[in-house]
Amino acid sequence: MAAKKNNTTLHSAKPFLKWAGSKRQLIKQFIDIYPQQLKDGTIENYYEPFLGSGAVFFDIGQRYKIKNAWLGDVNEDLVLTYKIIQARVSELTAVLYHHEKKYLALNKKERVAYFYEQRTTFNAHRFDKDINRNTDKGIARAAQLIFLNRTCFNGLFRVNSTGEFNTPPGDYTKPSICDQENLLAVSGLLAIANIKKVDYISSIKNIRPASFIYFDPPYRPLSATSSFTAYSKSAFTDVQQSQLAQVCKDLNKKGTFIMLSNSDTKDGFFDNLYKNFHVMRVPAKRMINSDASKRGHINEIVVTNYPV
């Protein structure tokens, strides 16, 4: 973990997964948007119910003096991997090193075959009841997820309607599969975290007073054909976006500090949904698209219940 926590802290732990929608590129802008109470040290509890790559948690957990973090996601394998890193990181890195050593020794054709072998095994065991952080199977599965993420096309975690990981292999010369130094730093930072596989409503049931919560739900599609990425087999519709807005209104009454991100669909949907909140646009870069020409700058919505 970083030696001290302030706005100039150099972070030692960074997201260990490539993830569509990761906020890592926006952190410098988010620093100016975080509530002042977080910067003053009066907010000690942090919640992130749509965890993904956890970029905002990694920033806040090292930059400010929070004592507790509640991290949740509906993606069971993602949550398992965080828990394995938290509790059994040395065993995980040993398995990842094995993957890395074997994969890098293969030629291109053999790498493709190895990737599909791991993907097939990963999908075949997705319903195993005895996979958890206390078993060797749990370590093996977390290592497979990281391996697949680091070697698949564009680092895109995507599943189909039955929950099968279906991203094809990427074409990398020397992918970083076992980043032991970072994983050890991540494990240290996760010491303050309570990590659960829960939906966002369950994750904030007993939220503590004067907490800061960051919502990063599945984004509303920019067009009818852009609903491309799926992190779980469940969709997040406009009805659910509206339900989340109501949750934010209820939390606002409790004195919770709220920040939320979403896509700028340019139809006033979020401006109307959060009309009693502060809504702003921040420039972002679309990093993942099958057509490289469509990876460019766009705006994203940021909503807060406090003035920035």
What pLDDT, on the 0 to 100 scale, is given for residue 160? 86
The pair of structure tokens assigned to 154 is 């564009």
Give the count of beta carbons closer than 10 Å to the beta carbon of residue 127: 8
Q: At what angle do helices 76-104 and 136-151 cross, to 10 degrees?
A: 70
Q: Smallest Cα–Cα separation from 85: which of 131, 130, 142? A: 142
SS (H, E, C) 187-249: HHHHHHEEEEECCHHHHCCCCCCCCEEEECCCCCCCCCCCCCCCCCCCCCCHHHHHHHHHHHH
End-to-end CA distance of the chain: 28
Structure-token match 């099968």, residue found: 164
What pLDDT, on the 0 to 100 scale, is given for residue 224? 55
What pLDDT, on the 0 to 100 scale, is given for residue 22? 76
Residuewise pLDDT in 10s, the chain (308 residues): 443 454 434 569 999 998 877 788 899 999 999 999 999 999 999 999 999 999 999 999 999 999 999 999 999 999 999 999 999 999 999 999 999 999 999 999 999 999 999 999 999 998 887 888 778 999 999 999 999 999 999 888 888 888 899 999 999 999 999 999 999 999 999 999 999 999 999 988 889 988 999 999 999 987 655 544 455 555 789 999 999 999 999 999 999 999 999 999 889 999 999 999 999 999 987 654 444 444 567 899 999 999 99
Contact 26, 282 (CB under 8 A): yes
Helix (H, G, I), strand (E, B) or coil at 285: strand
What pLDDT, on the 0 to 100 scale, is given for residue 295? 52
Q: Is residue 171 exposed (0-12), middle (13-18) or buried (19+ Cβ within 10 Å)?
A: exposed
Residues 6+ apart with CB under 8 A from 174: 104
- Please tell me the total number of residues recorded for the chain in this structure: 308
Query: What is the C-alpha separation between 294 and 284, in angstroms, rounded?
Result: 13
E-assigned strand segments in the chain? 45-48, 68-73, 193-197, 212-215, 257-263, 278-285, 297-304
What pLDDT, on the 0 to 100 scale, is given for residue 174? 95
